[in-house]
Amino acid sequence: MTPPKFESMTISELARAASVPTTTIRYYERAELLMPSSRSAAGYRLYSKAALERLRFIRAAQSVGFALDDIGTILALETSGTTLCQSEVAFILEKRLAETEARLRDLKQVKAHLSAALTQCRNSNGECAVIKELSTKRKPRRSR
């Protein structure tokens, strides 16, 4: 595979360089996180090395739990010339951490219910008590 030309890459070259499908790049464009630097005479999107770096940043930020809104906020701070303010990034991190902790609590409850249901299922004599119980149970409201 030949390395991409960094002066300008097509969307497929950018996708290959970043190991993402072109649909991901188009999605980020619709979300206004990534834009082509120009278009070719034939109308193809062209991207710079900066777009590749930005795409890699977006993917890395997502992999550690940042939502696209968070990433957009951070990128807006960067492109506005504002130094990344510790307090603004810390606020985003605190929010994501609190959400992650809430999801972990929810998952622990799900684990406990599944474990109890499995025990109940293994101890049943014929009739499936798990199906009967779930059929009559109302879906609990999630606390946020």
Tell whether 64 and 107 lie within a shared domain: no
pLDDT (0 to 100) of residue 58: 96
Structural domain includes residue 91? no
Asked if 35 and 27 count as a contact pair (C-beta separation under 8 A), the reply is: no
Report the candidate in 105, 126, 107 with the shortest Cα–Cα distance to residue 115. Answer: 107
CA 20, 24, 25 angle in degrees (round to 5)? 90
Instruction: Return averaged pLDDT per consecutive 10 residues of the chain, 144 residues in all.
Output: 65 94 96 91 90 95 91 81 69 91 96 88 78 73 58
Tell whether 4 and 45 lie within a shared domain: yes
pTM assigned to the model: 0.68
pLDDT (0 to 100) of residue 139: 66
> Which residues span the domain enclosing 3?
1-84
Beta strands in 11-101 (DSSP E): 38-39, 45-47
* Total domains, the chain: 2
Tell whether 14 and 75 lie within a shared domain: yes
* Sheet strand arrangement including 45-47: 9-10, 45-47, 38-39
pLDDT (0 to 100) of residue 43: 87
